[in-house]
Structure 1
Amino acid sequence: MSTLAPPRPAVRATASTGLRGPARLVVRQHLRAFQLLILLTVLIVAGLVAVTMWVGHDAAAFARTGCQVGSNSPTHACAQSVRDYMDSQLRLSTARNWIQLLLVLLPAVYGAFMAGPAIGRELESGTHRLAWTQSVSPARWLTAKLAVPATAVVAVTLVLTAAHAWASGQAEQYTDEWYMDGLRPTSGVLPLTYALFALAVGTLAGLLLRNTLRSMAVALVVQGISVYGFGKVRPHLWPVVTATYSSRIDDFHPGRWVVDSGYLTSTGERLPFSTCADSSEVGDTCLNALGITGRYVDYHPESHHWPLQLVETGILLAVAALAVYASYRLLRRLHA
């Protein structure tokens, strides 16, 4: 007589909440790197918040003293209070400068990671073929290689950018003009743009060279050239505003990002301010001899902040999109 085993209880189908397929493999391969990135981000933001709150407490204490920065107070108490307050503000400025440096360097690290450990090492060692034989197409493999790091990079960059913007808003002293603090690749949308640009360029470098060290070196060089190059051409990404004056004496207008300035002659010719610097003629004699009647100033007002940022963002994202497209085309040729 035979007995039948009792039927197994029905397993209720549930939707998987975790990553699957190549995305899960990418996370497992670089789990330590992702964990380190998250840990460093948490520590950096916590440190910046602590410094900002400390400085805010010092600023509130200074306000209660009734002293003012720049006032010629005869009392020693005010002099010491002002000195302590300025030292406290300097600590916040130093912390902000470190965050700015980090936001400049991180995209280069992202690009080197994509070019080296994420792409170049697998192509160099041949381990990518194993994934391609496990019902994973090359396009899907590359998509996972791009999507997982991009998600982590976007999250980290947004958190650091927001923390830096918040700390900058708490500063009372040692603040930069809008064209210094707002047009470096450390504020607005530029940190995220440079991060995505670095991922795309690093991916293309890894696929082209298929060597870990060479791919990382090329990605770092391209990122460095991009940051340096845009630093040089940034003032010319949007048309400047020109102001002319009948006076020959230059004056200072806060909030203006001056791109060019000099003298104007009666014929409308532009001459630099150093025109008569080496002349032996004294006073206005040299200026009168050249027919100089006034001066000009080419500048960006604060309203040009976002147009300048968005033009640079558009250029970088367009190049990044081309790099991603070229990566998929190159991968198709390699697979064929």
Structure 2
Amino acid sequence: MSTLAPPRPSPRTTASAGLRGPARLVVRQHRRAFQLLILLTALTAAGLVAVALWAGHDADVFARTGCRVDTVTTDACTRSTRAYDDSQYRLNHSLSVVALLTAVLSAAYGAFMAGPALARELESGTHRLAWTQSVSPARWLTAKLAVPAALTVACTLVLTTVCTWFSTRGTLHPLYWHDTSVYGTTGVYPFAQALCGLALGTLAGLLLRRAFAAMALAAAAQGIAVHVLQNVRGHLWPVVHGPYALARSNPFPRDAWMTEVGYLTGTGERLPMGTCFPIRGKFGDCLDSLGVTRRYADYHPKSHYWPLQLVESGILLAVAALAVYAAHRLLRRLHA
């Protein structure tokens, strides 16, 4: 009796199965860390939703009292206004905490890649087992980076979606688009920040191959990159220059991000806003002696939100791409 031999898998099928193998191994190796990230994301999103709903309930209760924030006439209105103000403060403070958590997580992603995911494995030599199972060093590194990147993008998407909805809930103390708590948790910037942390952590892990040293280097590099970009953010897109009369109040939109204010002389020279402040009683004479004719303000309107986001995110992604390229080149040089 003859039997039919099973069909030989095609090269395409074998390659596909091989590509799934390293990724599955990464998930099994670091499943606890991945589960912790998912849990932290879910708890943060649920906490934001709970705070927003709580603040919305307090706002509805305050509206039914008939009291006004700017006019408090009775003790009952005083208590209601205080409760309403406290709930609105919690609303703003919660998003500030999440913005800080987002920045910390981006550094934690890099530290995870630098330490447990790469440096510890290179330090102990366990990576050689994967390389003897028909997995090349390049594919091994790609799987090490791709799996955490996919999970990071998914978790960041959940957080940014909730934060975008959350940032529109305040009424008493509205949040503006240029506030760090809004800018750092909405748009595409959080994605670029997280992926940059992963890429820098990958390079640090391959460079040092010592877990704690690589984790410290990755966190420091990510912190420096984010800090530098935050300081130059206002210069990443051309500002709008708006001169206005000395006697006129600020004519610009309330949500505009002012980057520079001061005085203009008749020749167009710019003077700082505090030029004549130390002089008491002769403020007008001081301005006249300097030839000041107008005030000016350089600002970003709300329409600059996306240009600034895209430029800053593009810089972070370019740094991430360079770090990944350098990591692959380094791996190829060390383990040809």
CA distance in 1, matches of 2:61, 2:281: 57
Name structure 2 gaps, 5 residues minimum.
none
CA distance in 2, matches of 1:43, 1:246: 51
Q: Which structure: larger Rg?
A: 1
Which residue does the alignment assign to 1:289? 289
Which residue does the alignment assign to 2:322? 322
CA distance in 2, matches of 1:195, 1:283: 50
Shift in Å, 1:280: 7.2
- Residue range with higher mean Cα deviation, 39-48 or 136-145: 39-48
For the 8 Å contact 2:262–2:271, the answer to whether it is kept is yes
For the 8 Å contact 1:248–1:295, the answer to whether it is kept is no
For the 8 Å contact 2:159–2:185, the answer to whether it is kept is no
Cα-to-partner distance string for 1:41-74 (whole Å, 9 max, x where unaligned):
22222222222222222222222222222124x2
Measured on the aligned residues, the alpha-carbon RMSD in Å equals 2.6
For the 8 Å contact 1:256–1:302, the answer to whether it is kept is yes
The percentage of counterpart residues that share the same residue type is 59
**Secondary structure class of the residue paired with 2:107:** helix
Name structure 1 gaps, 5 residues minimum.
none
**Secondary structure class of the residue paired with 2:179:** helix
For the 8 Å contact 2:49–2:166, the answer to whether it is kept is yes
CA distance in 1, matches of 2:295, 2:112: 51
CA distance in 2, matches of 1:297, 1:283: 20
For 1:302, the aligned partner's letter is K
1:117 aligns with 2:116: yes
Which residue does the alignment assign to 2:69? 69
Cα-to-partner distance string for 1:199-251 (whole Å, 9 max, x where unaligned):
11110111111111111111100111112111110000001111112326663
Which residue does the alignment assign to 2:174? 175
- Residue range with higher mean Cα deviation, 175-184 or 146-155: 175-184
- Residue range with higher mean Cα deviation, 104-113 or 50-59: 50-59
Relative to structure 1, is the Cα distance of residues 57 and 250 closer, same or farther in structure 2, using a 3 angstrom cutoff?
A: closer
CA distance in 1, matches of 2:182, 2:63: 32
Relative to structure 1, is the Cα distance of residues 123 and 242 closer, same or farther in structure 2, using a 3 angstrom cutoff?
A: same
- State how 1:119-134 maps to structure 2 within 5 Å: 119-134=118-133
CA distance in 2, matches of 1:277, 1:174: 30
Which residue does the alignment assign to 1:40? 40
Relative to structure 1, is the Cα distance of residues 252 and 225 closer, same or farther in structure 2, using a 3 angstrom cutoff?
A: farther
For the 8 Å contact 2:243–2:294, the answer to whether it is kept is yes
Which residue does the alignment assign to 2:49? 49
For the 8 Å contact 2:58–2:87, the answer to whether it is kept is yes
For the 8 Å contact 2:137–2:335, the answer to whether it is kept is yes
Which residue does the alignment assign to 1:90? 89
Relative to structure 1, is the Cα distance of residues 115 and 22 closer, same or farther in structure 2, using a 3 angstrom cutoff?
A: same
Which residue does the alignment assign to 2:161? 162
CA distance in 2, matches of 1:280, 1:265: 21
**Secondary structure class of the residue paired with 2:178:** helix
CA distance in 1, matches of 2:283, 2:22: 76
- Residue range with higher mean Cα deviation, 165-174 or 186-195: 165-174
Shift in Å, 1:182: 6.8
CA distance in 2, matches of 1:91, 1:183: 15
CA distance in 1, matches of 2:283, 2:96: 43
For the 8 Å contact 2:95–2:181, the answer to whether it is kept is no
Which residue does the alignment assign to 1:269? 269
Cα-to-partner distance string for 1:76-108 (whole Å, 9 max, x where unaligned):
222222122222222322322221211111100
CA distance in 2, matches of 1:227, 1:42: 25
Shift in Å, 1:172: 2.0
For the 8 Å contact 2:102–2:190, the answer to whether it is kept is yes
**Secondary structure class of the residue paired with 1:178:** coil
Which residue does the alignment assign to 2:190? 191
For the 8 Å contact 2:96–2:181, the answer to whether it is kept is no
TM-score, L = length of structure 2 = 0.90
TM-score, L = length of structure 1 = 0.90
CA distance in 2, matches of 1:152, 1:61: 40
Relative to structure 1, is the Cα distance of residues 165 and 329 closer, same or farther in structure 2, using a 3 angstrom cutoff?
A: same
CA distance in 1, matches of 2:77, 2:247: 42
Shift in Å, 1:39: 1.6
Query: Matched residue pairs, number?
Result: 328
Shift in Å, 1:186: 2.2
Shift in Å, 1:173: 2.5
